[in-house]
Amino acid sequence: MAKPKEKYKVPVLDGNINIPRIVPGASAYEHMIEAQKDDMEALGFPSKLQDGWKEKAIGVFKEILDNNKALRDYMDICVRCGACTDKCQFFLGTSDPNNMPVQRQELMRKVYRYYFTPAGFFKNLSNSQELTEEVLKDWFTYFYQCSECRRCSLYCPYGIDTAEVTMAARQIMDSIGLGQKYATEVIHKVFKTGNNIGIPAPALRNTLDDLEEEIKDETGKDVKIPMDVEGVDVLLVPPSADFFAMPHMESLKGYAKVFHKAGISYTVSSYASEAGNFGMFLGSYKNMKEINKRIWDEARRLKVKRVIVGECGHAWRAAYQYSNTMNGPFDFLDSKYKSPTHICDFTLDLINKGAIRLDKSANDDKVVTFHDSCNVARGSRMGDYRGGQFEIPRQLIKAAANHFVELREGTTRESTFCCGAGGGLLTEEVMNIRIAGSMPRMQTVKEAVDNHKVNFYALICAICKTQFSKIFPTYGFDAEMVGGIHQLVSNAIIL
């Protein structure tokens, strides 16, 4: 399925993020593969478009409007001030006006006007439009060129969150049988095996054994990665990529060493072996809750005291912002701890308490920079103070390495750019969108490499890691530069 590399459109980096002139339809050619029948059915959606889809879609649209304040409000109040038009990495990268957040919303808003406001009466004047097949095609294209990163919401005077609009649109499309293959397939795998990658329990145990051996070879220590153990203190839920993908596995080794050294008993679970939650990408409350529930069911079954989530952006948002609403309250856990806890928060706390010690010089060959993952930055928090999601990872990096530089101001913290593959875009068929969407971030990477000799790009998101491992070489950087914060911890921890 992978396209030959020559076919990719890779921008030349000059370190500048310019606002492009608009080119209507510039990225209309790139769209998702439609979902497969059994995946859709497993998720409770019709397998494909059926007669009467239009009425069904409008019915679902209405139901969401009546039950989701955000969508209701945001459909009405955009003033088209344009403040968001130059804020989306997918517009900056593709020049396609439908990737300007307001215009992306307009794809839905014009349908809203037609069916739900008196403006629908003055069709041409008010830009209202029936939900035709043409419009549906645009929806399927452009609502899958949004990574639900919320950057636009930050800059909108009313906080209009295009991610909410995107989620609603995807939910409507799913409910009439027009799904995205990648995300629905992944969720189906979670329901079958407990994780996004579809690894069954024995295979997972094998991998963990391999990792234990690797650690033994590297350090001479017997660091265990327990699985499905009852009665331990901590249930650790990493994104499943941490078990199998590179450089993710290096971070998993880091977590294991931290638990080992601190002497805190923990386990991973084969039933809840996935922190990621693609239900969020679908915008589907029901699927998201179902996936999320596995974690808390498992915490209950294994009688742990607390739940810790590994390095993953949207997973952390799902765990932090939604868990308690969807599957709480967690009164069966130890109320001494906040659950869920982010692994960075946990490790930093141990360092501050002196429970583990790091030797920073182990990372002296590295000049580290940090990419704020947008779901962590704009959709969650770590620690117990505002902005902890920015400070804690930075403090952790600085505790593990001597050389740290920030990326360009205005593209970090809450203003961070998305990696270009979040929100269910981490799939081959939209590779050109991923390359284009990562362009603004890559410009700042180029600048950091040129000016500061940065050679390690620290991340706390499984999707970011996969995306950048792929994108860095595409833009001519070394894939080895990409890694997790716990990879640094793993190098530096004194066992």
Query: Of ligand SF4, other proteins, none, which one sits near residue 325, judging by CB under 5 to 8 A according to partner kind?
Result: other proteins
Q: Which is nearer to ligand SF4, 273 or 375 (CB)?
A: 375
Residues in 188-247 at the binding interface with other proteins, rule: CB under 8 A: none
Amino acid at 221: K
Closest listed residue to residue 358, CA positions, set 405, 391, 397, 311:
397
Q: Which is nearer to ligand SF4, 144 or 243 (CB)?
A: 144
306 scored as a contact of ligand SF4 (CB under 6 A) = no
418 scored as a contact of ligand SF4 (CB under 6 A) = yes
Closest CB to ligand SF4 belongs to which residue?
422
432 scored as a contact of ligand SF4 (CB under 6 A) = no
Amino acid at 272: A
C-alpha dihedral, 147 to 150 to 155 to 159, nearest 10°: 130
Q: Which is nearer to other proteins, 47 or 68 (CB)?
A: 68
CA–CA distances in Å: residue 277 to residues 63, 236, 347, 476:
24, 15, 23, 31
285 scored as a contact of other proteins (CB under 8 A) = yes
Amino acid at 340: P
**How many residues belong to the site for other proteins (CB under 8 A)?**
84
421 scored as a contact of ligand SF4 (CB under 6 A) = yes
Segment contacting ligand SF4 by CB under 6 A, of 221-229, 369-377, 391-399, 443-451: 369-377
Other beta carbons within 10 angstroms of residue 361's beta carbon come to 10
CB within 8 Å of 112: residues ≥ 6 apart: 61, 65, 75
256 scored as a contact of ligand SF4 (CB under 6 A) = no
CA distance 337 to 468: 33
Q: Which is nearer to other proteins, 200 or 328 (CB)?
A: 328
CA distance 159 to 477: 36
CB of 89 to other proteins, least distance (A): 15
**How many residues belong to the site for ligand SF4 (CB under 6 A)?**
40
66 scored as a contact of other proteins (CB under 8 A) = yes
Segment contacting other proteins by CB under 8 A, of 99-107, 401-409, 431-439, 453-461: 99-107
Contact present, 72 and 161 (Cβ < 8 Å): no
Beta bridge mates, 458: 370, 483
CA–CA distances in Å: residue 476 to residues 13, 425, 441:
10, 22, 14
Segment contacting ligand SF4 by CB under 6 A, of 224-232, 340-348, 371-379, 398-406: 371-379
Contact present, 304 and 363 (Cβ < 8 Å): no
322 scored as a contact of other proteins (CB under 8 A) = yes
Query: Of other proteins, ligand SF4, none, which one sits near residue 67, judging by CB under 5 to 8 A according to partner kind?
Result: other proteins
Applying CB under 6 A, which of residues 115, 158, 271, 337 lies at the interface with ligand SF4? 158
CA–CA distances in Å: residue 366 to residues 271, 357, 397, 405:
37, 19, 11, 11
H or E segment to which residue 98 belongs: none
Interface contacts to ligand SF4, rule CB under 6 A: 78-84, 87-88, 90, 101-102, 104, 146-152, 156-158, 160, 162-163, 166, 313-314, 373-375, 418-419, 421-423, 461, 463-464
